[in-house]
Amino acid sequence: ATQRMWARRAAVAWPIAAVFLVGMVAAPLSDRAMAVMESTGGRVAAFVLAIPVQFWAGWPFLAEAARRARRRTANMDTLIALGTLAAFGFSVAQLFLGGPLYFESAVLIIAFLLLGRWLEARAKGRAGAAIEALLQLGATQARLVASDGTEHLVPIERVRVGDVVRVRPGEKVPVDGEVVEGTSAVDESMLTGESVPVDKSPGSGVSGATINANGVLTVRATAVGADSALARIVTMVERAQAGKGAAQRLADRVSAVFVPAVLAIALATFGVWWIALGEPVGGLTAAVSVLIIACPCALGLATPTAVMVGTGRGADLGILIKGVEVLERTREIDVVVFDKTGTLTRGEMAVTDVVAGDGTDDHTLLGRAAAAEADSEHPIGAAITAAAHDRALDVARPGTFTAVAGHGVRADIDDVTVWVGTRKLAAEAGLVLPETLDDAAERCERDGKTAVVVGWDGEVRGVVAVADTVKDDAASAVARLHAMGIETAMITGDNHRTAAAIAAQVGIDRALAEVLPDGKQDEIARLQADGRTVAMVGDGVNDAPALVEADLGVAIGTGTDVAIESSDLTLMRRDLDGVATAIELSRATERTIRQNLWWAFGYNTLAVPIAALGLLSPIVAGAAMAFSSVSVVTNSLRLRRFGR
């Protein structure tokens, strides 16, 4: 709504401003154009055209200035209102006195500022979308189990604590609860970041919005509505967004001193000319020139034009810059925290090692393991089957298949009973585990991989290791950040062993493991409390609170909508080198904003005394104001050369 409001007002102001601009250019070049502008009809037309711009398009500035005046405070809107009203009111008086008009100054000031406000609102236009996306993640219906065992599909709002619900394969778990019947694997990555689905059996806890991968679960609800894990994530995102929205812009801070100073200079100018020189008309002209030259048109464009050009260049590079408030601090970022699953890693299980024992070759081992897992819906089984197909192995169909919840599978392959799973499963099946294969399994687990033993005919025949593999460019991206003097960290819901192995492989400085969503946000806050300026890189729902909490949130565009909406920067490609590029672009944009602000303030600081001495007429002051705005826009356009 805010964006549309500024757009409507700019749409009214700019066509009128264009008319004045054409007149300003044409008048010095054509005697006829000058005659038309100075005629009674031309002067009245200028007055009529300026009215809707001054009092409708520019109304938000006037209203805010009035509110500030009632509270005895001032900001840039105060100066905008005084400068434009001074130019407009002085011109109305000159209309009747026959003197020069300055309507174009008021119109151009308002038009430029409306453009700036619209660009700024456009940059912030999608605020709150993260909350909406989060709320849509939860289940809308639940299969409520009645006392007689029958199921009834009901809206999620009707489920109460203590009710029993049934969750079929592929369905979302509707509530936080405890499993009372059934076994299955549940994908909890949206909450924990854990890449491997977690096996559930009676007594296990489950969370709403997670996905039941296989098997039927009967769950007793322990938390619903605002008490659920998903609702807590929503609350964390809301709280973090509210805190970040309070950031004050550099222009606002400086205006607290600049605005009162300009007003004092304008009043002093009028007083000196009137009392000391006896020229009240000259004093009024000089005072109006002071207000016009100081009117913060360039200030209003300094931030939004830089952001607009920076975001445009970012889009060319596959980087979407959404936040403005944190750009001021990007130059101070000294630590980048990566989520592991889906960010540093691919987020998909894959076979990394195949270790065959004596008397067995890799092809036979992997082929029989894949055959046993052919009917399994577990991601580890799917990874083993995919590896066999990638190697073009002949995978037989199992005669019988039995899933052993939490441990693995048993299948008959070519009249041979094959066991695939944990070492505990092998022990229960009576399989002998050779010491060399036991060492191989432990070595794989030390490297953060999941070791799966494969055996038949009374003995474990080999080990297949499965892991979420690191992206090819992860190490180079981390090295590039190190070259920029930035420390790196990894945050994950995985166990310490897996986290340490991935961190070592990529070159990450520190690994934070077994961290849940609220813990991720807490870890970011803890770093900030230590004086660090933190960038967070993530792709999942579980990353949303941390992305919002961080000074700079960077989302991988191939991730979830929630992560993208919660971030300040989004990388639309999987290329992790984009993290360093995004930070560099943000820093360049922030530097340009500062250059624009200092140019605008410096220009005004030098020009105001000249206007106070009567050396600048209001019309020259208006032209100089326009030149300042053009300079700011030109400086912002340099960002288009970033990375070339």
Closest of 626, 632, 551, 453 to residue 105, by C-alpha: 626
425: which 2 tokens? Answer: 């499963």
Q: How far is CA 334 from CA 91, 328, 544, 583, in A?
A: 53, 14, 21, 11
Beta-carbon contacts of residue 518 (< 8 Å; ≥ 6 apart): 232, 233, 236, 545
281: which 2 tokens? Answer: 């008309």
Q: Is 577 a catalytic residue?
A: no
Question: Which residues is 186 bridged to in the sheet?
Answer: 198, 212
SS in 3 state form for 84-100?
HHHHHHHHHHHHHHCCC
Closest of 576, 501, 142 to residue 343, by C-alpha: 576
Helix axes 250-271, 280-294, angle to 10 degrees: 170
d(CA 280, CA 275): 8
Closest of 24, 119, 13, 9 to residue 622, by C-alpha: 24
Closest of 243, 233, 238 to residue 326, by C-alpha: 243
CA 82 to chain centre: 38
Helical segments of 30-75, H only: 31-38, 40-52, 59-70
Residue tagged active-site, from 339, 447, 494, 539: 339
Q: How far is CA 271 from CA 265, 398, 584, 618, in A?
A: 10, 100, 50, 18
Which residue carries 């090819």 as its tokens? 472
d(CA 70, CA 591): 36
Q: Are 514 and 497 in contact (CB under 8 A)?
A: no
Helical segments of 272-378, H only: 280-294, 297-316, 327-330, 362-372
Burial status of residue 175 (CB atoms within 10 A of its CB: 0-12, 13-18, 19 or more): buried
Q: Catalytic site residues?
A: 339
